[in-house]
Amino acid sequence: MGSLETASNEFSNSTKQPYWHLQVDEDAVAWLTFDAPGTSTNSLSRGAMLDLDSQLTTISQKLPRALIVQSAKQTGFIAGADIKEFTTLTDPSTAYELVRTAQRVLDRLEALPCPTVAAINGFALGGGLELALACRYRVVANDPKVALGFPEVMLGIHPGFG
C-alpha cells in the first residue's frame, strides 16, 4: 500500500501522535485505520475527532474509489466517546461544542461521495457505532465477541454524535 500524506494537526494526546492512519492501495481504495496511541482500546476523544476531520479533508481532496474504516486494536472497533474527557468539561457550552464537533465530523464522513465501509471487529459501542452508521456499509466479523449497541441509553443518555 502507498501512503497518502497525513494532514498535520495539533492532536490533544500527550504523545502528539495521530489517531488515524491513511493508506491507499493499488486499486485506489483508501484504508483509514484508527489506532489511539497509548491505549489498547479506541475511544472517540476530541483529538481523535479532530484528527479524523483532518483525514477526511485529505480523503475529500484525493477522492479514492472507496474508503474502508477499520481498527488497529485487537480488542475491537471503537468503544465510544472518551468518558474521561467528560470529567474535564466545566460548562454546558464546552460540552455542546464537543458534541457539535463530533456531529460535524460524522456528517462529513456520511457525505463523502465514494462508497464508505466500516470493517467492524469486536465491539462498536455508542459513538463507535454512530461512526459505523455514518458509513454507507458495515461489514462485521463473524465472531461471538462482536457487540453493537448504544449502552448509554441504559443510563438515560441519548446517543449524541449522529
Contacts with 2 (C-beta within 8 Å, 6 or more apart), sequence order: 23, 24, 25, 26
Cα end-to-end distance, the chain, whole Å? 31
Q: Which of 10, 26, 97, 152 is catalytic?
A: 152
Q: Which of 5, 26, 85, 130 is catalytic?
A: 130
* Torsion sign (Cα): 155, 160, 161, 162: positive
Q: Annotated catalytic, 152? A: yes
Rounded CA gap, 20 and 95, in Å?
23
* Residues carrying an active site annotation: 130, 152
